[in-house]
Amino acid sequence: MKRLVFLLVASLFAGRTLAISLPDLSGTWLFSSLEANGSAVTDDNLLSAEMEIRGGNYTFHAGDNTAKGTVKLDTSHNPAWFDLNETEGQNVGNTVSGIVEIVPGGWRYSANISGGTRPDAFASEGDGNILAVYKKKVVLAKPLRGLLITGGCCHDYPGQVAILTKGISKRVNIVWDVVMDPGADGTQHRVSVYESRDWAAKYDVVVHNECYSDEKDTEWLERIVKPHRDGVPAVLIHCAAHCYRAPTNEWFKFVGVTSHGHGAHFDYAMTNVAPRHPIMAGFPATWHTPKEELYNITSVEPTATPLATGWSPETKKGEVNVWVNTYGKSRVFGTTVGHYNGTMKEPIYLDLVARGLLWATGKLTDEGTPAPGYEGKP
């Protein structure tokens, strides 16, 4: 039985043939069905087992038994090969080899648990053979509560409200409040929500997509940034990087970069300079944006880390256009991309901003996927 439990762990990593990668399997998995030696397994202790997958490692729980180990996925074969090696548990050092493929609603895995050769078909008939089908465990989590603050000059903010809230909600478990003061379409305005000093108290994250560069009062600026310095996560989009140019420069310390201007409108090559960062997971090495407005960055704070740059034919250098920052106790994600609605509608853009929001709130896994329960609702 111990040998069977060990091998069942491996089956929980069943994945897609050829195109599968281990990040696709991040999460917690349950058996949908299980067969051994041609018959259905009815042991409730096994059927209720759970496997948490994080990168190339697993933790498996079946009743009182816990096992940990590493996995190896070889997609050069069809079906893909899947091997599991236990490093902690009752079968340390044992390796099980099998085959995996995607099926509707989940994955299936076949292996021989008696030390036989790797099977070449998905079947359980024969001594020591198993066939397992898996489904992802549904984890219910309280939605994040997000506040989108928007408005100001130079952009279609009503249109962007719909694009951002709907697009991010398809990717993140979040509910929204939106503040967009009517008629405040210039460069100077005191957004109504900031009148209260505890304006951010009930939110898990604030998305700043406002454009008020000429609102320069120092006390007003402190009212805005203090909740973030005290720990409220933030996402900054496009013209938010140009706002609140008070003499203290505190806004730009919060943002993480300083920018007071931009060049002409053009499409440009956007380079992923931090491919190992979870926010950049799935983002290509180079993405050619639609027609956009590339901001010129004059300085990057010591607390900030660039994630992507956009090539400017005017400044002849890569301008930082995606970054993360630490401001006091909070995490900040920022991007200067997003002048035009057409760019915001791009799936690659919405994916990027959604991962940035999840990272800022601590709900992004190391593989760049939502933490369990924080997936969106397509």
Question: Tens digits of per-residue pLDDT, 121-139?
Answer: 999 998 888 999 989 888 7
Whole-angstrom distance, CA of residue 80 vs CA of residue 20: 8
Q: Is the pLDDT of residue 174 over 90?
A: yes
Other beta carbons within 10 Å of 2: 11
Please, is 177 exposed, middle or buried when counting C-beta atoms within 10 Å of its C-beta (0-12, 13-18, 19+)? middle
CB atoms closer than 10 angstroms to residue 92: 13
* Model-wide pTM > 0.85: no
Confidence at residue 260, expressed as pLDDT on a 0 to 100 scale:
86
AA identity, residue 95: T
Instruction: Report the candidate in 252, 178, 253, 189 with the shortest Cα–Cα distance to residue 215.
Output: 189
Q: What is the rounded distance in angstroms from the CA atom of residue 25 to the CA atom of residue 35?
A: 22
pLDDT in tens, 204-249: 999 999 999 999 999 999 999 999 999 999 999 999 999 999 899 9
Assign domain 144-360 to its CATH superfamily: Class I glutamine amidotransferase (GATase) domain (3.40.50.880)
CATH 3.40.50.880 in the chain: give the residue spans: 144-360
Question: Which pLDDT value is given to residue 364?
Answer: 96
Q: Would you state the structure tokens that stand for residue 296, as one six-digit string?
A: 């010129």
Residue 15 has pLDDT above 70, yes or no: no
Under 8 Å between Cβ of 203 and 147: yes
Average pLDDT along the chain = 90
Tell me the CATH architecture of domain 2-136: Beta Barrel (2.40)
324-351 average pLDDT score: 97
Q: Mean per-residue pLDDT for 56-74?
A: 89
All CATH 2.40.128.280 domain ranges of the chain, comma separated, are 2-136
Report the amino acid identity of residue 373: G
Which residue type occupies 330?
S
User: For the segment 288-303, what is each residue's pLDDT rounded down to a tens digit?
Assistant: 999 999 999 999 999 9
Specify the 3-state DSSP secondary structure of 355: helix
CA dihedral 166, 103, 53, 273 (to 10 degrees): -50
Cα distance between residue 164 and residue 343, in whole Å? 11
* pLDDT category of residue 105 using cuts at 50, 70 and 90: confident
Whether the CA torsion 247, 255, 152, 312 is positive or negative: it is positive
3-state secondary structure of 166: helix
